[in-house]
Chains A and B, each alone.
Chain A
Amino acid sequence: GDSVTQMEGPVTLSEEACLTINCTYTATGYPSLFWYVQYPGEGLQLLLKATKADDKGSNKGFEATYRKETTSFHLEKGSVQVSDSAVYFCALSGWNTGNQFYFGTGTSLTVIP
């Protein structure tokens, strides 16, 4: 079945460090891929998405590229800030999943000053 596997955390970085959170997926067809972020005490909100191969989603300095050949959608940021501390979830959805969303287990990021 369809699934998402993402890098386990927790991840602790110093401010201005580079971030990569790995995400790989298994799916039939061509799903849309998403990164959601959950700040402490809040619900999840969309960070970025990509709907077809080679698309790059970007938002708030974060980027992720839909790589069909490696079935990956890694999240990257060149310089993290304390305010980026949150839990990040990779997810997929599409017609072949009945439009259900499949989430990874989440990666907790803490950025220290």
Chain B
Amino acid sequence: DADVTQTPRNRITKTGKRIMLECSQTKGHDRMYWYRQDPGLGLRLIYYSFDVKDINKGEISDGYSVSRQAQAKFSLSLESAIPNQTALYFCATSEVSNTGELFFGEGSRLTVL
């Protein structure tokens, strides 16, 4: 089983709908992140959490919200989806270290029609 699991893997929805992407991890890491990947733009940070009580906005948080339900769970919500939120979304975790690497989930592909 994957250390970082994202659900759903693929989702097609309509403009205005509320969508939740879920992430769970078994690595025991305190730090969790949500990124968005768009062609030609690389990865952009949406939100990150350094522990259960710590939530921080990233580079592109507008239109998104998050919930850190437990150390192992970090959910991303789109309250009212719009077409330009069509993208590949990745959850990641890391240790508390300035040399630690990110561990990624397999991604959730979201299409907003």
Q: A residues bordering B, Cβ < 8 Å?
A: 31-32, 34, 36, 42-46, 49, 51, 89, 91, 93-95, 99-101, 103-106
Question: Which residue numbers of B lie inside 8 Å of A, CB to CB?
Answer: 4, 31, 33, 40-43, 45, 48, 50, 58, 90, 92, 94, 96-102, 104-107
> Does the CB pair B102–A46 fall under 8 Å?
yes
Q: Which residues of chain A have C-beta atoms less than 8 A from B101's C-beta?
A: 34, 46, 49
A36: chain B residues at CB < 8 Å are: 102
A42 to B104, CA, bound (A): 9
A43, B105: Cβ atoms closer than 8 Å: yes
Are B98 and A89 in contact, with the CB atoms below 8 A? no
Known: A44-B90, A105-B42, A106-B42. A99 touches B31 (CB 8 A): yes
Query: 6 shortest A-B CB distances, which residue pairs?
Result: A43-B104, A105-B42, A103-B43, A51-B99, A46-B101, A44-B104
